[in-house]
Amino acid sequence: MSPDAAYYWMVATILPRPIAWTSTLNEDGSANLAPFSFFTGITSDPPSCLICVSRHAPSRKKDTRLNIERTGEYVIHVVTDALAEQMNATSRAFPHGVDEFVEAGLAKTPSEIVAPPRVAEAPVAMECRLDRVVEVGRSGGAIIIGEILLWHVRDDLLVGGRLDMGRLDAIGRLSGAGYTRTRDRFEMPRPK
């Protein structure tokens, strides 16, 4: 199976995937923002997550990876239905140094611990510090593992100190141009 065919089967069968909308800082201090749906949590001690970043071309690392390797800092935002189009706009392969916040009409707000700014419109953001980068496979793709230092959660999403999933209204990635909403939910307590 070719890598392209394998990619199709991966995204068509590993789903739905959460989207890590990731902000970083370029060398000149401008901001970079891009979505990554090969994203998951790893362990809660310390709280850690991973994103998988492929390459634009065999010799061209994506800006997100370059910036995280250089600065060790990034912010991951949850993508909500209201922000879907802006998220998509930030996925274009802009030349290095282009500020995707500006391209997508998004406002910045400062982070507390790390230098990259947050997306002001995003109701949940996780400030992260790089733990390690692990290259996997033959095309220079990498797993970026980081520690979540701080969660920002907009007040109106909280009910009794817990996140209300309906108010969050997150979306997930399927294959191709497909996405899913999280409005159709059900509960199923685990067997004792």
Ligand X SMILES: Cc1cc2nc3c(=O)[nH]c(=O)nc-3n(C[C@H](O)[C@H](O)[C@H](O)COP(=O)(O)O)c2cc1C
Residues that bind ligand X (CB under 6 A): 19, 32, 34-38, 52-54, 62-64, 88, 91, 93, 173
Q: How far is the CB of 16 from ligand X (least distance, A)?
A: 11
d(Cα 181, Cα 172) in Å, to the nearest integer? 6
Measure Cα distances from 106 to 15, 87, 99, 117 in Å. Answer: 28, 10, 10, 11
Q: Which is nearer to ligand X, 70 or 159 (CB)?
A: 70
d(Cα 6, Cα 28) in Å, to the nearest integer? 37
Q: How far is the CB of 184 from ligand X (least distance, A)?
A: 20
Parallel/antiparallel/unpaired status of strands 47-53 and 142-153: antiparallel
Q: Which is nearer to ligand X, 5 or 177 (CB)?
A: 177
Residue 7 DSSP one-character state:
H
Q: How far is the CB of 147 from ligand X (least distance, A)?
A: 19
Q: Which is nearer to ligand X, 29 or 189 (CB)?
A: 29
Q: How crowded is the C-beta side of 186, counted as CA atoms within 13 Å?
A: 2
Q: How far is the CB of 37 from ligand X (least distance, A)?
A: 4
Q: Which is nearer to ligand X, 5 or 188 (CB)?
A: 5
